[in-house]
A and B are shown apart, each in its own frame.
Chain A
Amino acid sequence: MSTNRSLKLTLKVWRQAGPGAPGHFETHELDGLSEHMSFLEMLDVLNEKLVLEGGDPVVFDHDCREGICGSCGVVINGRAHGPDAETATCQLHMRRFKSGETIFIEPWRSEGFPVVRDLMVDRSAFDRIISAGGYVSTNTGSAPDGNAVPIPREDAEQAFDAAACIGCGACVAACPNGAAMLFVSAKVGHLAHLPQGQAERESRVLAMVRAMDAEGFGNCTNHYECSAACPKGISVENIALLNRDYLRASLLERG
């Protein structure tokens, strides 16, 4: 039998009217919350209350609510996606909090991610980085035979681990330098471990780093906060691989 503890919480929610507008914290009390709710369901409850009272609901991003799409994400008491390791905000449960607690809820803060409104940020910088080279330019045709291209198990594992990145941006939010290296390195690392990714390996890393720098993200100083915040546990080994590939590609690039 599961018990159902009820929680009373004080929320300090970041409100911001639009990009570049000055923001502020708004305080809300919520009572009678179920500990089985997800964090986003708790925000739904807040928004219903706000709408009934005639106020503006808090804008936040979300979609799948099962930890796979990368849409959700807020900074909860100074931790991107909240206190649980390898857990996206939508998968975080309210039982993680104590009744009577005060919770600060803030958007991802980075020059690369301008606030759209309240807790929602514009992560299209990631899309532009992907467009610069996060793909393989081959005509794939119909599905190939399963083992037509042999891939060593270890390579497949590392490619898959890197491919688990859902593009949520928590790494940028957690980084004291607002750097996007973990995300970019996950995309570079994913394809660098596969035979299909080899043809464009050099041009990809050069183009993606150039696109990343153009978006105003910071420079990595190897704090490794990104990996600790990442809901998919992407390893900083990928960042070393990106560095290695970038150095080699820059040195050996022709012309």
Chain B
Amino acid sequence: MVTWLQTFVRSSVGKKACMAISGLLLVGFLVAHLAGNLTLFLPDDGAAFDAYAQKLHDLGPLLYVAEVGLLALFVVHIAFAAWTTIGNRKARTSRYAVQPDHGERTVASSTMPITGLIVLLFLIVHLIHFRLDERFEQGPFDLVEGTLAGPIAALIYIVGVLALTLHLTHAIGSALQTLGVNHPRWSPLLRRAGVGLALILGLGFLSIPIYALIAWGGSN
């Protein structure tokens, strides 16, 4: 068992599969996260959002299990991303004078390590804002309002989400291919659905800091 796993995670295809599975599970988390966040927009002065946050907290130890699981997904994804990216740099040390382009590469596919890194930096700021701040317990909605009312904070969120959106426009279709899903009839459709989901998540998450800038901006 152990030797099998070692061989698997050291192989190029195995590493990519670990990234794809952890990445897709993270996409699943983002869908749930966005659904929860959108309760911010209900016209009830944050009552629904606070209730949603309270429900999560009431899970008690289950919440910790979920958080540890989520952390593990990020660690796996980032570790394999670093491992494969370093391997890929080593596989092409000699640079072309004319940068090769055969028309299939995209901005998204070419910047995956960079957009990933921006998402990671954003994630750290995001956790400091809302996970590590004691004030979240007392009033989640008030803390979100208080934090995002600052134009610099809102800007950080906008940049972070834009990087995530670009990351995901390549990532979702790419992960399916990595896991062996490719069919002449379905794949073009699935690739477009992947870009669509990336844009929905992107616009959904963007709506929050943009709303904050417009509705709360300058209020502190």
Interface residues of A, Cβ cutoff 8 Å to B = 12, 14, 25, 75, 77-80, 104, 106, 109-112, 173-179, 181, 209-210, 212-213, 216-225, 227-229, 236-237, 239-247, 250, 253
Known: A225-B105, A228-B103, A229-B102. A75 touches B15 (CB 8 A): no
Jot down 27 A-B pairs with beta carbons below 8 A, ordered by A. A78-B96, A78-B98, A78-B100, A79-B101, A104-B98, A106-B96, A106-B98, A109-B94, A174-B102, A177-B88, A177-B91, A181-B12, A217-B12, A218-B84, A218-B87, A221-B16, A221-B88, A221-B109, A222-B174, A223-B106, A225-B102, A225-B104, A240-B180, A243-B179, A245-B180, A246-B13, A250-B8
Residue pair A218, B92 in contact (C-beta under 8 Å)? yes
Interface residues of B, Cβ cutoff 8 Å to A = 4, 7-8, 10-17, 84, 87-88, 90-106, 109-110, 112, 170, 173-174, 177-184, 187
Residue pair A223, B104 in contact (C-beta under 8 Å)? yes
Q: Which residues of B contact A223 (CB under 8 A)?
A: 104-106, 109-110
Complex-state Cα separation, A100 to B187, whole angstroms:
43
Residue pair A78, B99 in contact (C-beta under 8 Å)? yes
From A109, A209, A236, A247, B177 is in contact (CB under 8 Å) with: A236
From B17, B91, B187, A112 is in contact (CB under 8 Å) with: B91
What's the least CB distance linking B172 to chain A, in Å? 11
Q: Find the B residue at minimum CB distance from A240.
A: B182
Residue pair B105, A176 in contact (C-beta under 8 Å)? yes
Known: A220-B16, A229-B102. 17 other contacts (CB 8 A): A80-B102, A109-B96, A176-B105, A213-B11, A218-B12, A218-B84, A218-B91, A219-B16, A225-B104, A237-B182, A237-B187, A243-B180, A244-B180, A245-B180, A246-B11, A247-B179, A247-B180
